[in-house]
A and B are shown apart, each in its own frame.
Chain A
Amino acid sequence: MASASTGPHPVPADAPAAAVSVQGLRKVINDRVVLNDLDFAIPRGSMFALLGANGAGKSTLLKILAGLMPPTGGRVHLFGAPLAGHAADLRSRIGFLGHNAMLYRELSARENLVFFGRMHGLADVGRRAEDLLEQLGLADRMHDPVKAFSRGMLQRAAIARALLCDPELLLADEPFTGLDAPSARTLEALLRSLHAQGRTIVFTNHDVAQSIALATSVDAVGHGGVFVLGHGRLIINQHARLLDAAMVHLEMSDR
């Protein structure tokens, strides 16, 4: 149904330059269509926000991009290589930040990072883990078990895990949820600096205004459609989805 979409992105969907390109992506979970014929591309080096309500399929989309979940149909290319079949090679180029910390809570932050670093096959993991924890302000707590961490510290430890393999693409699922204002500002600054280093960042967010401020482009995942927005300017690439996109627009102008 969305095959005729003319994307506003300067990069064609199948160009190797695109960090992520998705064609006809479909995901059905428990007989429910969660993602329906998604087509979009994310250029390299962009900061990309995905908007959508709870249950709209944002997390599912990120999990599929991370290779944690197989799509029901359609194709996903990361850095020009198909995700299916190259999943293991691509995994070390992706950092994934999920709802949960994805750390073993009985182990200390350093032990966690060293373990995951070894699984990635990194050299000199101890140094790398300590450097990252220092950058994220966890140096003095790195020998404490993760279960003793506050939500903000846990999030920082999770970021350290996601950045371990020096990923070109960072996928972050609701990274701002549950953070207090100072932590959120720190995270925002961190994401900006990662973006400035040339990494591609894809994140989901409830907060439309914050997303617009942060992102170079914003997408909303609705019921089976993607709406592409650029810097507060609404671009509708699917006529059928006009109403949905207009609602997003209204919300934005309220702010």
Chain B
Amino acid sequence: MNRTPTLTGHGPWNARWGTVGMQRLSAHLVRAYWLVTAALFVAVILMLVLYTPVDRGMGPVQKIFYLHLPVAISGFLAAFVVFIASVGYLWSRSMWWDDLAAAAGKVAVLYCAVILLTGMFWGRSAWGVWWTWSPRLTFSLVLFLLYAVYVLIRPTIDSAERRAVICAVYGIIAFLDVPLVYLSVRLIPDIHPSSISLEPAMRLSLLAWFPPVVMLMAGMIGTRYALNRRLRSAEAGRFSEAPSAGAAIRVSAAGGHP
């Protein structure tokens, strides 16, 4: 137990944002980051409409797939960030790990929701139903539930320390659950076999979708993390700047009212 935990221990980004000059620079960098992300999204959408060939079997709906797979992989990455941040919190007991885990958890839920919805659209056009208990749909539903509960349970725990501990344990087990869920859904008989064969142009479109989707994920986690940090330091400031005169009165009350 040789840890030196800090309450408002500075995350790496805050430390770098120490001076005003650095703050201005990083504000520019953040803006540039979002501009690049937006530009990439415009580019890949144009590419999808103008360049990517239409699938012969499924028609234009097949194009959901170019969003679906990159989102699925980035959602998994966000879940991995929750896992790393949870382990980091339990190891160091520094609150900024918890803020990072919370940020990544929110993004993971959002991405899982997109996986689930795109999967349902796919199923609707491929098999004519919104929902079947096919392995893939079940997998994305379970993933969504795992992280939706992670996000929902947070505000119900009042104590910041308890919340961080419970959510860290949850975040670790949830991530370790992912491969187990993946393997267990394969026991479900797949009545709708679906194999996807991609032409080279399709493969290129798929690859092109990865950078913007991953950048959006990382950007959202970063923004959310910075917000969580600010909220926490505002909260900590309210308590730690209590005047010492108040303390004196409280000490005197000790003898007076047993």
The residue that B7 contacts in the complex, of A52, A54, A72, A224, with Cβ under 8 A, is: A72
A251 within 8 A of B: yes
Please state if B235 and A31 are interface contacts (CB–CB under 8 Å).
yes
Residues in chain B near residue A38, CB distance under 8 A: none
- A87–B2 Cα distance when bound, in Å, is 12
- CB-CB contacts of A205-242 with B at 8 A, as 1s and 0s? 01111000000000010111101000000000000110
Assuming A31-B236, A31-B239, A73-B4, is B244 touching A220 (CB within 8 A)? no
Contact call A248/B251, Cβ cutoff below 8 A? yes
State whether B160 touches A51 (Cβ < 8 A).
no
Residues of B within 8 A of A32 (CB): 239-240
* B-side contacts of A248, CB under 8 Å: 251-252, 254-255
**List of A residues within 8 angstroms of B257 by Cβ:** 206
Q: Indicate whether A144 reaches chain B with its CB closer than 8 angstroms.
A: no
Q: Which of chain A's residues have a CB closer than 8 A to the CB of B251?
A: 51-53, 56, 220, 222-223, 227, 244, 247-248
A-B pairs under 8 A by CB, number: 99
Are B240 and A33 in contact (CB-based, < 8 A)?
A: yes
Interface members, chain A 53-79 (any B CB < 8 Å): 53-56, 70, 72-73
Using CB atoms, name the residue of chain B closest to A248: B251
Does B136 make an interface contact (CB < 8 A)? no
CB distance from A109 to the nearest CB of B (A): 28
Q: Does B14 contact A (CB under 8 A)?
A: no
- Are B255 and A251 within 8 A (Cβ)? yes
Interface of chain B residues 104 through 158 with chain A (CB within 8 A): 158
Q: Which residue of A lies closest to B248 (CB)?
A: A244
Give Cα A252 to B256, complex, Å: 9
Task: Establish whether residues A53 and B4, one from each chain, have CB atoms under 8 Å apart when the complex forms.
Answer: no
Whether A220 lies near B1 (C-beta < 8 A) is no
Q: How far is the CB of A184 from chain B (nearest CB, A)?
A: 11
Most buried by B among A85, A240, A246, A251: A251
Shortest distance from the beta carbon of A75 to any chain B beta carbon, whole Å: 10
> Which chain B positions have C-beta within 8 A of A73?
4-6
Docked Cα-Cα span, A215 to B196, in Å, equals 81
- Whether B250 pairs with A55 at a CB distance below 8 angstroms is yes
- Measured in the bound complex, the distance between the Cα atoms of B5 and A24 in whole Å is 14
Nearest Cβ on chain A to B85's Cβ, whole angstroms: 18
Contact with A along B143-185 (1 / 0, CB 8 A): 0000000000000001111000000000000000000000000
How far, in angstroms, from A10 to B188 measured CA to CA in the complex?
74
In the bound assembly, the distance between CA atoms of A28 and B7 in angstroms comes to 7
> From residue A110, how far is it (CB to closest CB) to chain B in Å?
33
16 cross-chain CB contacts under 8 A: A30-B158, A33-B239, A51-B251, A52-B251, A55-B250, A56-B247, A56-B251, A87-B1, A177-B258, A208-B254, A223-B246, A223-B247, A247-B252, A248-B255, A251-B252, A251-B256
Q: Which 6 A-B pairs have the closest CB atoms?
A: A223-B247, A251-B255, A206-B258, A247-B252, A208-B255, A53-B250
